[in-house]
C-alpha cells in the first residue's frame, strides 16, 4: 500500500503489510520490516533499517547524513528495532565513521522533534519526550525516560532505568536507576522508584539499590571508595551494576545538588517510604 505520490527507490526492500503515506521518500539500500506504517512527508535515507511493526509519523527524517564537519561521506547506518514509534519531526542520523551505526532498540518511543545524533545507541523501551537532544555517541540503557527538552552531551552514558527531568542537561554520566532535577545541570535528584516498580523490581531489590545510592552519594566517600564499599557490602545484581557503571565512567558522574552527609538530605519523596 504505497501512496501514488510517494517516491520509493527500486533498491529499497519493503516487507509485507507495509504502508507508505503521501509525499514520502524512501531511498535505495533501505530495509523496512513487515507491518510498518510510514506516514506522509517522511524521509528514510540510504542505509537505514526498520524492524517490524514500527510506526513513523509525518516529517520524520531517518538516516540522513550526520551533522559532523569531519564526516567524509562514507557508508554508515541507522538501525531501528521492532515495534518503535517515531513521532512527528524526529531526526535520527547515521554513524559518522565508516561502518558505524546509530542504533535504536526495540519498542522505543521517540516523541515529536526528538533528535538522535550520529552513533547514538538506545536500549530497549527508551522514551524520549518532545524536543530531547542526544548528541553524538550518547549511550542510553534499557527503560530510560528522558523528559521534554532535556539535552545530553556527546559521549555521555545514561544507565538503565534512569530518568532525566524535563529541560535538564547533563555533560557527565547518569548512573542506573537515578533521576536528574528538572531544569538543572548535572544534578542527581533521587532514585527512579516509579520506573523501578514499573520494570518489576521488588521492594528488597529497591532497598539494596537505595543502600548503593547512599554509599555513593551520602557518606562522603570518593568514587573509588564508594564502588569498593558497594561491592564489599551489597549482593551482586543491581547494586553491582551501579558500581560497574561508575567505575567505567570516563566523563565522571552526576552529583547531588545538596551534599549533606545523611542520606535523608539526598533522598526524598517515594524513596524514603521504601
Q: 132 with 201, same domain? A: no
Q: 11 with 115, same domain? A: yes
The per-residue pLDDT for range 158-210, each reduced to its tens digit, is 999 999 999 999 999 999 999 999 999 999 999 999 999 999 999 999 999 99
pTM for the whole structure: 0.93
Task: Mark which of 99, 121, 137 sits at the end of a domain.
Answer: 137
Q: 30 with 130, same domain? A: yes
* pLDDT bucket at 141, cuts 50 / 70 / 90: very high
For residue 69, what is the domain's CATH number? 2.160.10.10
For residue 262, what is the domain's CATH number? 1.20.1180.10
Query: Are the beta carbons of 266 and 218 closer than 8 angstroms?
Result: yes
The per-residue pLDDT for range 204-244, each reduced to its tens digit, is 999 999 999 999 999 999 999 999 999 999 999 999 999 99
Q: 132 with 236, same domain? A: no
Q: 34 with 119, same domain? A: yes
Q: 117 with 229, same domain? A: no
Domains in the chain: how many in total?
Answer: 2
Asked if residue 34 belongs to a domain, the reply is yes
Domain range for 207 is 197-273
Residues counted in the chain:
274
Mean pLDDT of all residues in 18-39: 98
HEC sequence for the chain: CECCCCEECCCCEECCCCEECCCCEECCCCEECCCCEECCCCEECCCEEECCCCEECCCCEEEECCCCCCCCCCCCEEEECCCCEECCCCEEECCCCCCCEEEECCCCEECCCCEECCCCEECCCCEECCCCEECCCCEECCCCEECCCCEECCCCEECCCCEECCCCEECCEECCCEEECCCCECEEEEECHHHHHHCCCCHHHHHHHHHHHHHHHCCCCCHHHHHHHHHHHCCCCHHHHHHHHHHCCCCCECEECCCCCCHHHCCCHHHHHC
Residue 257 confidence (pLDDT): 76
Count CA atoms closer than 13 A to 209's CA, side-chain side.
28
Task: Mark which of 102, 118, 137 sits at the end of a domain.
Answer: 137
Asked if residue 230 belongs to a domain, the reply is yes
Average pLDDT in the chain: 93
| Nearest-angstrom CA–CA distance, 30 and 199 | 33
Asked if residue 180 belongs to a domain, the reply is no
Q: 227 with 128, same domain? A: no
Asked if residue 212 belongs to a domain, the reply is yes
Query: Are the beta carbons of 178 and 162 closer than 8 angstroms?
Result: yes
Asked if residue 12 belongs to a domain, the reply is yes
Residue 50 has pLDDT above 80, yes or no: yes
Asked if residue 209 belongs to a domain, the reply is yes
Mean pLDDT of all residues in 1-20: 98
Asked if residue 50 belongs to a domain, the reply is yes
Asked if residue 160 belongs to a domain, the reply is no
Task: Mark which of 120, 137, 154 sits at the end of a domain.
Answer: 137
Reading phi first (left if > 0) and then psi (alpha if -120 to 50, else beta), residue 267 is in beta
Amino acid at each position: 500500500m504505497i501512496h501514488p505520490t510517494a517516491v520509493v527507490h527500486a533498491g529499497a526492500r519493503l516487507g509485507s503489510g507495509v504502508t507508505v503515506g503521501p509525499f514520502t521518500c524512501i531511498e535505495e539500500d533501505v530495509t523496512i520490516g513487515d507491518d510498518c506504517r510510514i506516514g506522509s512527508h517522511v524521509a528514510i535515507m540510504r542505509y537505514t533499517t526498520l524492524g517490524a511493526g514500527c510506526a513513523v509519523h509525518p516529517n520524520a527524517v531517518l538516516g540522513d547524513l550526520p551533522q559532523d564537519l569531519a564526516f567524509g561521506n562514507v557508508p554508515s547506518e541507522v538501525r531501528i528495532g521492532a515495534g518503535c514509534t517515531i513521532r512527528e519531526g524526529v531526526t535520527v542520523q547515521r554513524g559518522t565513521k565508516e561502518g558505524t551505526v546509530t542504533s535504536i532498540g526495540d519498542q522505543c518511543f521517540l516523541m515529536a522533534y526528538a533528535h538522535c545524533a550520529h552513533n547514538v545507541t538506545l536500549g530497549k523501551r527508551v522514551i524520549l519526550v518532545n524536543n530531547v537532544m542526544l548528541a553524538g555517541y550518547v549511550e542510553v540503557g534499557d527503560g530510560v525516560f528522558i523528559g521534554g527538552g532535556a539535552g545530553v552531551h556527546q559521549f555521555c552514558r545514561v544507565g538503565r532505568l534512569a530518568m532525566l527531568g524535563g529541560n535538564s542537561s547533563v555533560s557527565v554520566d547518569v548512573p542506573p536507576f537515578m533521576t536528574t532535577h528538572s531544569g538543572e545541570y548535572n544534578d542527581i535528584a533521587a532514585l527512579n522508584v516509579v520506573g523501578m516498580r514499573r520494570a518489576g523490581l521488588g521492594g528488597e531489590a529497591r532497598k539494596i539499590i537505595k543502600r548503593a545510592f547512599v554509599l555513593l552519594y551520602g557518606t562522603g566517600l570518593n568514587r573509588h571508595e564508594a564502588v569498593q564499599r558497594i561491592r564489599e557490602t551489597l549482593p551482586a545484581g543491581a547494586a553491582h551494576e551501579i558500581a560497574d557503571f561508575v567505575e567505567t565512567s570516563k566523563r565522571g558522574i552526576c552529583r547531588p545538588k545538596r551534599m549533606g552527609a545523611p542520606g535523608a538530605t539526598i533522598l526524598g519523596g517515594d524513596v524514603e517510604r521504601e
